[in-house]
Structure 1
Amino acid sequence: MTSVGSGYDLYVSTYSPDGKIFQIDYANKAVENSGTCVAIRTKDGVILGVEKLVPSKMLEKSSNRRIHHIDTHIGVGISGFLADARQLITRARDEAKQYRQVYGQPIPIKVLSQRIASYNHVYTLYGSVRPFGCSLIITGIDQYGPQLYMVEPSGSCIGYFGTSMGKGKQAAKNEMEKIKFTEISTRDALKEVARIIHTVHDEVKDKDFELELGWISMTETNSVHQLVPQNLFEEAEAFAKAAIEEANQ
């Protein structure tokens, strides 16, 4: 029995007297302790950026990735436990593959997001399991245009023009509220995402981090999800660092 949950956190299927499921709160806390993930939906695409915290200097640069491909037209950003997220990514790839086999076309982003959200929700119903300790931001382009959804451990699935999760999510949301999402271009949004992540990074508590950027655009990538090319990545990171130096002067 814990002092926080007072015994109501022993099973995920148990509600507390005030209507809470404590294990879902604990899963959300795991997400909040992870690196910040930011996504912006533009008029022709979606930009995804992740603050990948580096716990050791011996860590290989390409490992521990937090941006992954689900299908050619879908990318995912992760905050929370990587082991839990890996299971959801595998599930998402299976769903996308099955949808193609059955219907002969790419899976819509909303359909995939809702299926993963339903899968998450199942893990909040039975005492023998626990919620996934991670959240996903699912981005892509389908027949309805650019799409951006966030799936949370509770099974919540909501579409956004811009959203964030992780340690600096509130500060990132404050920065994103200044953006005109229907007017900004993909390349400009790329720089904004890099700037926001560098701005919300806490240099005192987390000294080392790597920036990861992924994008999908109807004009830049021909509606295929990719990691941002090195030249554009360096340009966006240089812009972010210059903006922070200017703000600190």
Structure 2
Amino acid sequence: MMGGNDQQAYDRGTSLFSPDGRIYQVEYAREAVSRGAPSVGVRTADGVVFVAMSRPSSTLMEAESIEKLHKLDDHLGTASAGHVADARQLIDLARRQSQGNRLRYGEPVGVETLTKFVTDHIQENTQRGGTRPYGAALLIGGIDNGEPRLFAADPSGTPNEWKATVIGGGRSDIQGHLEENWTEELSLDAGVELAIAALAAHDDEFEPTDLAVATVTEADGYRTVPVEEVTEAFEAAGLTVEEDDEGDEEEGADADADDEATDADNEE
């Protein structure tokens, strides 16, 4: 009985180690991240690629309101997974630090420097009373002195540098695909195709419109990739874009004018 009560006490504590060296609340926060939609980051020879699954949960939801990729500075971007509100707080923190560095020192903040600033803040919430760990993970990537760099920050506050990685659900399948296919000579376009193909290794039932894609290069800085280019990369990755829904709607419109009006309203 006492053992069970002790276990429950460690489970409820936000900053206590269990006898086997675990902090349960951090592990629960990691579980929250793993239940989120995946986001992939790929470092290429030309820059950093971010691809995130941003599929609406309802046909009534505006797809543009789902924000998984964010610009931190001209040379910096981030992708998130997990609790959206938690991620937004970390993103705002990173933006303030990035802009403060420009005002204070007159130069852009380093990718590693910013990542460690954010992860230091995350780590504080694993050892202070009255707080809980952030239920979100970030990929932070950009250009540092002409060199592309990519970091991941998890709810424990650990910063790791990666060549390619994923946060969110389906990590095993997606990371396995990245490990098998990533190369040092990867171009930016090939990096986008690799990230899309890696997502498809876990779940291939998505369309180009279900993805958010951004790149960070020395020449163009942070850039949101338009859906037309995403579609081209989608097809180059060997995936097929479904087009039969539009045809079915047109046939239904010929048969019934009222159905046509309803379908049009739903598409908007």
Common fold, TM-score beyond 0.5? yes
Q: CA RMSD in A?
A: 2.4
User: Using a 3 Å threshold, how does the CA distance of structure 1 residues 162 and 243 change in structure 2: closer, same or farther?
Assistant: farther
Structure 2 length-normalised TM: 0.83
- Which structure's relative contact order is higher, taking Cα pairs within 8 Å and 6+ residues apart? 1
Q: Return 5+ residue gaps in structure 1 as ranges.
A: none
- What CA distance in whole angstroms lies between the structure 2 residues aligned with 1:231 and 1:162? 24
Q: How far did residue 55 of structure 1 move?
A: 1.6
User: Using a 3 Å threshold, how does the CA distance of structure 1 residues 20 and 202 change in structure 2: closer, same or farther?
Assistant: farther
Partner of 1:19: 21
Q: What per-residue deviation string (whole Å, max 9, x for no partner) do you get for residues 168-217 of structure 1?
A: 111111101123431111111111111211231275xx99x811111112
Partner of 1:227: 224
Partner of 1:155: 157
Q: Which residues of 2 match residues 105-124 of structure 1 at below 5 A?
A: 105-124=107-126
Is contact 1:37-1:169 (8 Å) kept?
Answer: no
Match of 2:186, SS state, is coil
Q: Return 5+ residue gaps in structure 2 as ranges.
A: 243-268
Compare 225-234 and 163-172 and name the one that shifted more. 225-234
- What CA distance in whole angstroms lies between the structure 2 residues aligned with 1:186 and 1:197? 17
Q: How far did residue 4 of structure 1 move?
A: 11
* Pick aligned residue for 2:235 from 227, 233, 238: 238
Q: How far did residue 17 of structure 1 move?
A: 0.9
Which of the pair is proportionally richer in helix? 2
Q: Which residues of 2 match residues 81-96 of structure 1 at below 5 A?
A: 81-96=83-98
Larger radius of gyration: 2
Is contact 1:195-1:244 (8 Å) kept?
Answer: no
Is contact 1:41-1:162 (8 Å) kept?
Answer: yes
What is the letter of the counterpart of residue 107 of structure 1?
A: V
Match of 1:163, SS state, is strand
- What CA distance in whole angstroms lies between the structure 2 residues aligned with 1:157 and 1:25? 16
Partner of 1:211: 211
Compare 144-153 and 48-57 and name the one that shifted more. 48-57
Q: How many pairs were matched up?
A: 239
What is the letter of the counterpart of residue 80 of structure 1?
A: G
Q: How far did residue 159 of structure 1 move?
A: 0.4
Structure 1 length-normalised TM: 0.89
Match of 2:221, SS state, is coil
- What CA distance in whole angstroms lies between the structure 1 residues aligned with 2:94 and 2:26? 21
User: Using a 3 Å threshold, how does the CA distance of structure 1 residues 132 and 30 change in structure 2: closer, same or farther?
Assistant: same
Is contact 1:39-1:48 (8 Å) kept?
Answer: yes
